[in-house]
Structure 1
Amino acid sequence: MLLCLAGCDGAQKPTPAKWHPPPVKIQLGTSVDGLLKQLFFPFTSDCLKAVNLCWYELTFVDKKPLDVTITQPGQSLVLRQVIGLQVLANREVSQNVDDLDITLRGLPDGSSHKANRQWVYALLGDFKAAGWKKYYFPSDPRIAGSQLDKFEWKDNVFGQQTLTHPLFDPDVKMSLERWMAVNGFYDWYLYSGRYIAHVRVWRLGVANESSRPGSYLTSIEFSSLETFWRTDFPEADRPNWKALFADHLRQLSARRQATEAKARAAGVAVDEGYEGPAGERVQ
């Protein structure tokens, strides 16, 4: 199913043979209902009425990909070759587009791992060009990918399991050897304004030989900081998570400081200039 979010009033649907999907614009943080009302074609929905939770999913005629522009005030990011789009609306919490999943069509199956690696880093480059920045989870040490040769990191980072691992630094391109050593899933996190983007790449199959062709699936989850952090709390605490948030951040920051102290003692540089989203800065 195709959608059009601008300039569709009075438009006539062209014949399928001549159909070219129009570009799509989605502004993060705007009304889910407003988005749905502008859809050019029907969508599928799956709702749990007891908890006022709905998934709205759009797939595309003949799998023809779309160009989707993700906007925030003063910023826009163009994602090309989009073949899947899902909006999660937790109406007990928000009426806005705060949880958005996008699936991209990457390179053809059988493309080389080197080419797929290049495609992924080009996608990350599009994020950075649009103003998105590297994100460190507040408990994770602020260690850039450029420091990986200075310590042993394959099992943990100075004794800590991390969400935002230095290997997946969007500012540092990993070697093909390191790329092939990853066990299937690649995870980068970036932030802009009050949103976090999780770029996840899945290498299909178990082959880890760079000489053999590969197939990859790429998805992107855009989450508001409120959505991202609310789900970090136990279910029972979520209704009151904002009151608990400051203390939670202090605890996470203390874990970061302890790990960074170990890193400095080992001669590993810490990214002191990183600030992170404004909503995560511990006072």
Structure 2
Amino acid sequence: MGECAMKSLWFIVIFIFLNGCNDRESTVTVHNANVELALHVSAQETIANSAEKFSKECMKNLGLCWYKIRRSANEKDLPSVTIQSADGKISFQHAIGVTVVVDDKIGKNIENIGVTLRALPDNSTHEENRNFIINLLKDIKVAGWQRFYLPEEPRISGSQAAKIDVPGEVLGHPVLNHPWLDPDYKIDIDHWLKSGPLYKWYFYHNDEYLSLMAWRRDSNDNPGKTGTYLITLGLRSEREFWLAGIVDKQDRANWKALLPKRIEEYHALRSALEKKARAAGIEIDETYQDPPINALRK
């Protein structure tokens, strides 16, 4: 997918969630509501039946509409968000932001969902925040989501974390799936602090892709001990996931035809990095296989 593209998307997410939308269409009237969301379903029906009111913002020249919920982290009655899939669901408490994206070029169904959660109170300890996020990761795995390695990155699990000395990279190559942050292994607080201020995890379930990202801001008075964390979740359809980072309009229209070549190039990068890792005594998780891509099925 490319590190620059993913970082750009992340900073866009931060900007959107921190700035929000100034022209709300309505005020919240339901306390402790549960917002039910799913991909591949009608956006209009979802919005109409929601326990919380959404605002709407469109860019007609792009054919894109954003439906949003914005709440203050200081409110007591924050909604929960339940994300449903074909064979299960997962719920998150204390949502302060929800964004549903609809692309008119492909229909009126939901293809992209973003959720921002209220984390622990400002200036909680880093250890408390780490444990809070670890519990979120556990909930995601229990709901059937599996760790996803980006196709260009080496399949190195947390079992090899002690062999990796630098955060954010493996043997000099930047990676988003860093072994220190393997959700199947509990990271110690020293490596946690070294991994920040941006933390990233990726999961897949059937033909859907989920990211959990946390951004850490250390406190001024005790930066090594306490801080404030912003947590966002991104859920994307297969199409939206593989379109990420493609800017050219024609390439976006032909993404399915171009995907096999892209995957081949990604895997060549992975193979080279894994060969280098093996030579350095780092084991590769051969049990992991990329999830099938429906767009490539004939």
Deviation string, structure 1 residues 53-108 (Cα, Å, up to 9, x no partner): 11110124846211221111111111111121111111113422211000111111
Matched residue SS, 1:215: strand
Report the CA distance shift for 1:41/1:179 in structure 2 as closer, same or farther (over 3 A): closer
Matched, 1:228 2:221: no
Letter in 1 for 2:31: H
Report the CA distance shift for 1:72/1:155 in structure 2 as closer, same or farther (over 3 A): closer
Kindly state the Cα deviation for residue 251 of structure 1 after the two structures are TM-superposed: 0.8
Matched residue SS, 1:120: helix
1:12 paired residue number: none
1:187 to 193, 200, 208: 200
Matched residue SS, 2:120: coil
1:30 paired residue number: 41
1:58 paired residue number: 69
Letter in 2 for 1:192: H
Contact in 2 for aligned 1:203/1:214 (Cα 8 Å): yes
Kindly state the Cα deviation for residue 129 of structure 1 after the two structures are TM-superposed: 0.4
Report the CA distance shift for 1:104/1:74 in structure 2 as closer, same or farther (over 3 A): same
Structure 1, 244-253 or 92-101: larger mean CA deviation: 92-101
Structure 1, 53-62 or 223-232: larger mean CA deviation: 53-62
Letter in 2 for 1:214: G
Letter in 2 for 1:218: I
Q: Distance in 2 between matches of 1:145 and 1:134?
A: 12
Report the CA distance shift for 1:209/1:186 in structure 2 as closer, same or farther (over 3 A): farther
Kindly state the Cα deviation for residue 264 of structure 1 after the two structures are TM-superposed: 1.1
Report the CA distance shift for 1:159/1:129 in structure 2 as closer, same or farther (over 3 A): same
TM-score by length of 1: 0.86
Equivalent residues in 2 for 1:124-163, closer than 5 Å: 124-154=137-167, 156-163=169-176
Equivalent residues in 2 for 1:11-160, closer than 5 Å: 20-60=31-71, 62=75, 64-154=77-167, 156-160=169-173
Kindly state the Cα deviation for residue 174 of structure 1 after the two structures are TM-superposed: 1.3
Q: Distance in 1 between matches of 2:221 and 2:189?
A: 11
Task: State the identity %.
Answer: 33
In structure 2, the gaps of 5 or more residues are: 1-27
Kindly state the Cα deviation for residue 160 of structure 1 after the two structures are TM-superposed: 2.3
Matched residue SS, 1:93: coil
Report the CA distance shift for 1:282/1:33 in structure 2 as closer, same or farther (over 3 A): closer
CA RMSD of aligned residues (A): 2.5
Structure 1, 125-134 or 59-68: larger mean CA deviation: 59-68
Kindly state the Cα deviation for residue 253 of structure 1 after the two structures are TM-superposed: 0.6
Report the CA distance shift for 1:245/1:145 in structure 2 as closer, same or farther (over 3 A): same
1:257 paired residue number: 271
Contact in 1 for aligned 2:137/2:183 (Cα 8 Å): yes
Contact in 2 for aligned 1:58/1:85 (Cα 8 Å): yes
1:8 paired residue number: none
Q: Distance in 1 between matches of 2:260 and 2:89?
A: 31
Matched residue SS, 1:214: strand
Kindly state the Cα deviation for residue 272 of structure 1 after the two structures are TM-superposed: 0.7
2:285 to 230, 254, 271: 271
Q: Distance in 1 between matches of 2:81 and 2:62?
A: 30
Q: Distance in 1 between matches of 2:90 and 2:132?
A: 16
Larger radius of gyration: 1
Matched residue SS, 1:109: coil
Matched, 1:200 2:193: no
Contact in 2 for aligned 1:176/1:210 (Cα 8 Å): no
Structure 1, 73-82 or 56-65: larger mean CA deviation: 56-65
TM-score by length of 2: 0.82
Matched residue SS, 1:45: strand
Q: Distance in 1 between matches of 2:221 and 2:205?
A: 34
Equivalent residues in 2 for 1:155-174, closer than 5 Å: 156-174=169-187
Structure 1, 185-194 or 162-171: larger mean CA deviation: 162-171
